[in-house]
Chains A and B, each alone.
Chain A
Amino acid sequence: MSNENVHKKLNILADAAKYDVSCASSGSNRKNTSKGIGSGVACGICHSFTEDGRCVSLFKILMTNNCIYDCAYCVNRRSNDKPRATFTVKEIVDLTIGFYRRNYIEGLFLSSGVIKSPDFTMERMVLVAKKLRLEENYNGYIHLKAIPGASPQLVQEAGLWADRLSVNLEIPTNTNLKLLAPEKNHPEILSPMTQIRNGILANKEERKKFRRAPKFAPAGQSTQMIIGATPETDRQIILLSSGLYRTQNLKRVYFSGYLPVNQNDKRLPAITRPPLVRENRLYQSDWLMRFYKFKAEEILTEDQPFLDLEVDPKLGFALRNMDQFPVDINRADYEMILRIPGIGVQSAQKIIMARRHRKLNSMHLKKIGIVMKRAKYFITCNELPVSTTDWAPERLKRKIISESLTKNRKLLDTQLSLFNDFKPALPPLH
């Protein structure tokens, strides 16, 4: 396989695939029962990190960047004058196994431009997964993109070989999607999504009865949408994603800050930088819904269409609801402790366990790993002075913002980390 052709194709198709956000390899613990190669790890493993700070967990690649569609936001649309390439099924299989054996990757994430018809494309993608599983005896992670418009039989088969399936929602509302991608519409995207959801639910029931029934997409399904390309509000987006979690049982909804990849399209906003802070705030809201037991309606109330870019949504919630604070660390229930800014899921669990043994004071809290710089305004634990907990919301917001500015932090220019305790990048103070 060692020829320059593959190398060139890899470059073109990796370039074309990089705008796909999802790279999670979590949720599947497929065992290597066949004594072949590969296994799933439920928590997922990231094998590398590129200079933009995003992880490389899966070998994320397009099968082809030829496409019959002409979507305004997409780098691979047919009206773009770009070098095009197509991998053969065997090339993808060989590359995946070659990388996997060297522990470079956790699995394969295969997506594709649409050639000829959705069915034709989907069929070849399914073939890759099938070949990996049956011929290479491969038990690692496979994430397949379901192509809207492909026949239900193909989607069903894809689910049998893959760990995760995803269908991209592309744009949060149907009207705007039609504007930017005349050949696509939401109902057509939602129908495979619904099919996959039903498949997963039916498979769960089946596996209760027959333990050895083959798994159907054991790592669930996810979706992705572009934000900032169209004028939807944050509230619309959050309500939409919370609806998707509820009705479609999605594992993840990914947001991709709009990045101008095509020049001179009047339908799209003229911006030079992706809206990274907004994207980060949306992810933080997503985390609040999935791990912090917040409801979508609580994150943004009706009179607030957009998230505050200056402070993270959890701090924003606390500042709007000062009547619920201060919280007594030694008495409050878990849900309330989770809502205190500066306390994450792990610290909250530690607090709950530790306070059975003794009364906690601020020294304990600091050692456990709570960001006291933030949390001290929202908690009482016997010996914190009252003065720290009695503030006007707007003044407190300014104080917290100014305290978290350090001379080393450059303003608003980096993507924020999702996994650290919230540390917002902040605009300059006026």
Chain B
Amino acid sequence: MIIYTYDGTFEGLLTSIFETYNRKNFPVDICSRQGEQKHLFAQKLDIHTNEIKAERVWKGIQNKLMGKNNQLLFYAFLSEEKGIEMKIYRFLRRLFSEHFNIETDFGDSDVLYLTQTSQKVKKEAMRMMQFVRFQHAKDGMYFCGIEPRYDVIPLVINHFKNRFADQKWLLYDLKRNYGILYENEKIEEVIISNKEFNTITGQVNENILQEGEEFYQKLWKSYFKHINIKERKNLKLQRLHMPRRFWKYLPEKQGIN
């Protein structure tokens, strides 16, 4: 009985999987170092992330998976679900040993689980594109603090980079405490220590807001109110498409709920 532990990164997981094949010593569990120890008498093996080994495994995966699914495992990994490592590991054991594409074998519970989890992650990334609301600060920066359920900020960088190519923006993950800053066509990962915004709702302090910002928020709020058709009221449908957990970031829902 052996348990592999790694540093919690995707590269770390790929390195561990490389080592299982290398040592021909197949584990009962793979978990991140912070993860709990489930097996009392199991032997523990700590794996140091090695980019070259991780790259080799990643290439192997790419050769086997179809083009449109090639990010499947990475997306599923981003879900940070408990026990996702072993599911990825079992998936890879099958993937490497069989000739056929196993990624469409939805009768297999691991394959189905990974597909559905990666769908969830993609949906959460979509929600970021939908519900991010920038606030214009005095220094010209457009800021948004938000708390996605999964760690999906990296997946939407390109979307925002293409869309807002001529403005300086910062997208901050309030839960995981890091953000992506875009300035002068460059992307940068930042950690803010001196926070001038509400760490729960992501609202920027009023004294550093740009002048027109409040006006636009007011306009947007009343636009939102007036575009609604009262006779067709259907709150359930609204909540289905726009879950409550995002309402605190949306200016149009402020002061209403």
Contact = CB atoms under 8 A, between A and B. Distances in A.
A53 B165 contact: no
Contacts of A59: 223
A353 B215 CA distance: 52
A48 B246 CA distance: 10
B107 A360 contact: yes
Tell me if A's interface is mostly helix, strand, loop or mixed.
Answer: loop
A31 B234 contact: no
A7 to B, nearest CB: 6
A104 interface: yes
A11 interface: yes
B220 interface: yes
Interface in A15-34: 15, 17-19, 31-32
A102 B238 contact: no
Interface in B234-250: 234-238, 240-242, 250
Given A98-B216, A354-B105, A356-B104, A274 B231 contact: yes
Interface residues of B, number: 57
A273 B211 CA distance: 43
Interface in B129-179: 129-136, 142, 144, 159, 162-167
A32 B163 contact: yes
B212 interface: yes
Given A98-B216, A357-B102, A414-B237, A31 B162 contact: yes
A417 interface: yes
Contacts of B102: 357
A102 B241 contact: no
B134 A49 contact: no
B222 A11 contact: yes
Nearest to A417: B237
Question: Which of A38, A50, A417 neighbours the largest number of chain B CB atoms within 10 Å of its CB?
Answer: A50
A41 to B, nearest CB: 7
Interface string B198-239: 000000000000011001101110111011111111111110
B163 to A, nearest CB: 5
B109 interface: yes
Interface residues of A, number: 60
Given A36-B165, A41-B129, A103-B132, A49 B238 contact: yes
B136 A102 contact: yes
Contact of A18 (B129, B162, B229): B229
A259 B231 contact: yes
Contact of A104 (B107, B133, B218, B234): B133
B96 interface: no
A52 B134 contact: no
Contacts of A250: none
Contact of A357 (B107, B166, B231, B242): B107
Given A35-B185, A103-B133, 7 more contacts: A2-B211, A35-B166, A37-B164, A45-B126, A53-B240, A98-B216, A102-B133
11 contacts: A11-B226, A18-B229, A32-B163, A35-B165, A35-B166, A36-B166, A45-B126, A364-B106, A368-B106, A415-B234, A417-B237
Interface of A: 1-2, 6-7, 10-11, 14-15, 17-19, 31-32, 35-39, 41, 45-56, 59-60, 95, 98-99, 101-104, 137, 140, 259, 273-274, 276, 350, 353-354, 356-358, 360, 364, 367-368, 414-415, 417, 420
The 7 closest A-B pairs by CB, nearest first: A53-B237, A353-B104, A354-B106, A357-B105, A14-B226, A53-B234, A52-B232
